[in-house]
């Protein structure tokens, strides 16, 4: 599942990554997905979600708690890291979102 989101608030790179993960998990659940394998290029996010790194900022801890709750709704959930250069579609979508001036919902195929 690929999607583009544009925040109407300032977000750090990590916050944007967590927001995308949470939204993606919710969208797949709404679509009835029970087995989810997600690929992320952020080593920090993947290792925090997989319990290999500890989140220190309270905002990141809150995201992790939300993700843990969402994970329980899947029969299987895996988050794997991929190299940034292998995540070309996501990179293209993020650049497109940054360039959008309005926030109207629309579908753009990449």
Two structure tokens written together for 37: 């394998």
Two structure tokens written together for 19: 């927001």
CATH superfamily of 13-99: Ribonuclease H-like superfamily/Ribonuclease H (3.30.420.10)
* Model confidence pLDDT, tens digit, residues 34-88: 999 988 888 999 999 999 999 999 989 999 999 999 999 999 999 999 887 776 5
CB 86 within 8 A of CB 93: no
CA dihedral (16, 63, 42, 17) in degrees, to 10, reads -20
* Model confidence pLDDT, tens digit, residues 17-33: 888 889 889 989 999 99
Q: What is the 3-state secondary structure (H, E, C) of 43-78?
A: HHHHHHHCCCCCCCCHHHHHHHHHHHHHHCCCCEEE
Two structure tokens written together for 64: 């992790």
CB 3 within 8 A of CB 94: no
Two structure tokens written together for 17: 């990554």
| pLDDT of res. 61 | 95
Q: Is the pTM value of this prediction over 0.75?
A: no
């Amino acid at each position: 599942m690929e999607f583009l989101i544009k925040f109407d608030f300032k977000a750090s790179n990590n916050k944007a990554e967590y927001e995308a993960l949470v939204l993606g998990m919710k969208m797949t659940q709404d679509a009835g997905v029970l087995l989810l394998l997600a690929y992320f290029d952020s080593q920090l996010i993947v290792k925090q979600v997989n319990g290999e790194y500890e989140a220190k900022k309270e905002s990141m801890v809150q995201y992790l708690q939300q993700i843990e709750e969402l994970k329980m709704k899947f029969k299987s959930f895996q988050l794997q890291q991929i190299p940034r250069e292998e995540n070309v579609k996501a990179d293209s979508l993020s650049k497109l979102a940054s360039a959008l001036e309005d926030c109207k919902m629309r579908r753009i195929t990449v």
